[in-house]
Amino acid sequence: MSAAPLPPLLLVGCGRMGSALLAGWRRAGVSAVVAVDPARPPGVDGEVRYVSRPEEINARLHPAAVILAIKPQEAEAVLPTYRRFTESAFFLSIMAGRRIAGIAEALGRSARVIRAMPNTPASIGKGVSVACPGPGVGEAERALATRLLGAVGKVAWVEDEALLDPVTAVSGSGPAYVFLLAELLEAARRERPSPRVRVNGGGGGGPRARSRPACSARWARWRGSRMRRCAIR
């Protein structure tokens, strides 16, 4: 049985991560999304309507969730514009380093805010997101946030917001370090080409025994003595 389509959503910021989420929601099935982003050409594409300014959001849109995928440094200027959704919707913020209390302060103290940290593999549906609920967030909001983040990978929840800092450092930023290492290795290899290193595995004693004859001889001596002891008994 396929799940019901996602309810109407408002996406603020449709850059790399916003687009990755949007693609996941479309795969999962969504009823209506308005995506606000000055960098994208306005228009309609299936269930998604792109607008460049919040003033262009259709007054008939009643989103269940407002997803904040703008850069953290834009939060102060942008968030107050979305205060009008505070009573009817909850906010799912993926902005790195922006705390729940600060987001709620900008949106109105009664705002229900879930803060989450996805990571780059979300762009191929293999991400890992860790989410933390703010005050007033109930089971229904958690369930929908799990669906929204789960559309691009796995989801875990923490109750202590402080844990999102190590999550940001390791899982959120980790892929960037892996890509950097791969790029550096590639650059180093281009600068100093070296013959291919080949690990020669196979049967018998395995690669360790083959590449370490001294160790292999010690192992044979130990095994021989064990065999002799067994035979005496």
Ligand X SMILES: NC(=O)c1ccc[n+]([C@@H]2O[C@H](COP(=O)([O-])OP(=O)(O)OC[C@H]3O[C@@H](n4cnc5c(N)ncnc54)[C@H](OP(=O)(O)O)[C@@H]3O)[C@@H](O)[C@H]2O)c1
Contact call for residue 39 and ligand X (CB under 6 A)? yes
Contact call for residue 13 and ligand X (CB under 6 A)? yes
Please give the Cα distance from 95 to 39 (Å, whole number).
18
For residue 68, which phi and psi values (nearest 5 degrees)? -100, 105
Please give the Cα distance from 76 to 83 (Å, whole number).
12
Contact call for residue 28 and ligand X (CB under 6 A)? no
Contact call for residue 36 and ligand X (CB under 6 A)? yes
Please give the Cα distance from 115 to 97 (Å, whole number).
10
Contact call for residue 84 and ligand X (CB under 6 A)? no
Contact call for residue 104 and ligand X (CB under 6 A)? no
Contact call for residue 42 and ligand X (CB under 6 A)? no
Contact call for residue 37 and ligand X (CB under 6 A)? yes
The residue within the footprint of ligand X, chosen from 8, 18, 24, 153 (CB under 6 A), is: 18
Using Cβ positions, the residue closest to ligand X within the complex turns out to be 15
Smallest Cα–Cα separation from 92: which of 6, 194, 169, 199? 6
> In the beta sheet, which residues pair with residue 114?
92, 133
Which C-beta is closer to ligand X: that of 173 or that of 216?
A: 173
CB 111 within 8 A of CB 86: yes
Coil/strand/helix, residue 35: strand
- Choices 33-41, 196-204, 211-219, 223-231 (CB under 6 A): range interacting with ligand X: 33-41
- Choices 42-50, 111-119, 157-165, 206-214 (CB under 6 A): range interacting with ligand X: 111-119
The residue within the footprint of ligand X, chosen from 24, 63, 102, 118 (CB under 6 A), is: 118
Shortest approach of ligand X to residue 177 CB, angstroms?
Answer: 12
Segment 43 to 82, residues that bind ligand X, using CB under 6 A: 69-72, 74, 78
Classify residue 186 by burial, with Cβ atoms within 10 Å: 0-12, 13-18, 19+. Answer: exposed
Please give the Cα distance from 25 to 122 (Å, whole number).
12
Contact call for residue 152 and ligand X (CB under 6 A)? no
Q: How far from each other are the two terminal CA atoms of the chain, in whole angstroms?
A: 65
Query: Which residues contact ligand X (rule: CB under 6 A)?
Result: 12-18, 36-39, 69-72, 74, 78, 94-96, 117-120, 172
